[in-house]
Amino acid sequence: MTSHLEVEKLDAGYEDLQVLNQVSFSLKPGEIGCMLGPSGCGKTTVLRAIAGFEPAWRGRILIDDIEVSSRKIYQPPEKRNIGMVFQDFALFPHLRVEDNVRFGLKGLSRQEQQTRIQEMLAIVGMPAYAHAYPHQLSGGQQQRVALARALAPRPSILLLDEPFSNMDVELREQLAREVRSILKQENNTAILVTHDQNEAFAMADQICVMNEGSILQQGSGYDLYHRPANRFVADFIGQGVIIPATVESANSVKTPLGVIKGDDRIDAEPGSMVDVLIRPDDVVHDDESDDSAIVVEKAFRGADFLYFLRMDSGIEVMCLAPSHHNHKINERIGIRLNVDHLVTFSRN
């Protein structure tokens, strides 16, 4: 079963503390969404409101066009057919893997339960561990069991509350991709809550960037990175620097690194000053270029180096270069711009 989810102008909170402010977003059947933002921004409260653990103060939540939460209507969690995967997985330590998965299948016959358990363990790659106990599994294996248990009753919507936060950094993105593959195989509508943008990029179709209880922008990871709607999103998603520029025309600006042109119309008059977002992948290392900069810092990332550079004008930028371009601190290197998306902000 897969469902359409719609959240409309949702306000919610705890006692007299309002946490969410006019939160609105929607997911199509089978789509994976993500609430992404810093700690305390309200993303888990969104999940709790969808699950039915917190009532809506204002606004409403609909699942398959049926209102489940508003000021007048409150459908309890057990009536919403929602599955959840928690940060600590919440597996029952005294139950074997197959019995953990069986937990949500009480309405089925023993044979139907066993068939669904075997099906789910096969989907998550754990059929050989049916008789193991949670303490005998790795963190990644426990995460797969928790996912199998949540998906076994065929929930309308699956909610995942920071499910990878207890994992090693190296495993998080890999597990996010694996979970995405499983959810797509089951055609499940799902929402992930995380503060890690790499998890969000690896798993979600649509990402909502949150801050202080509001959604600042919803879109794909590509759009959020290349077309941030405001400075917060630009700073929170990816890396980059803001440099000053002068507007030359409706779609071009002059910067210390040269003229940049883009497809999007600039909301400022020619001659006025704006700020321009420059990502590390916008700056290309090029020894033939007339422009150059001094290497101030560098970070080795395996396949590439992230260089922190200072130009003679004092402007600082970042540059992503293949790792065989191994330059020393204080070395001067040639650079040029290769900007596909012109992102400007009015001056503060």
Per-residue pLDDT at 196: 92
Residue type, position 256, single letter: P
Q: For the chain of 348 residues, list the mean pLDDT of each consecutive stretch of 10.
A: 85 94 96 96 96 95 94 93 87 95 89 94 93 93 91 93 82 87 92 94 97 97 94 94 92 88 84 94 92 95 94 92 94 91 86
Cβ(170)–Cβ(302) under 8 Å? no
Query: In whole angstroms, what separates CA 233 from the centre of its chain?
Result: 12
Alpha carbon distance 48, 314 (integer Å): 48
Per-residue pLDDT at 172: 83
Give the chain's radius of gyration (CA, Å). 24
Per-residue pLDDT at 86: 84
Query: In whole angstroms, what separates CA 175 from the centre of its chain?
Result: 14
E strand or H helix at 339, and its extent? Answer: none
Per-residue pLDDT at 348: 66
Per-residue pLDDT at 165: 82
Residues 6+ apart with CB under 8 A from 222: none
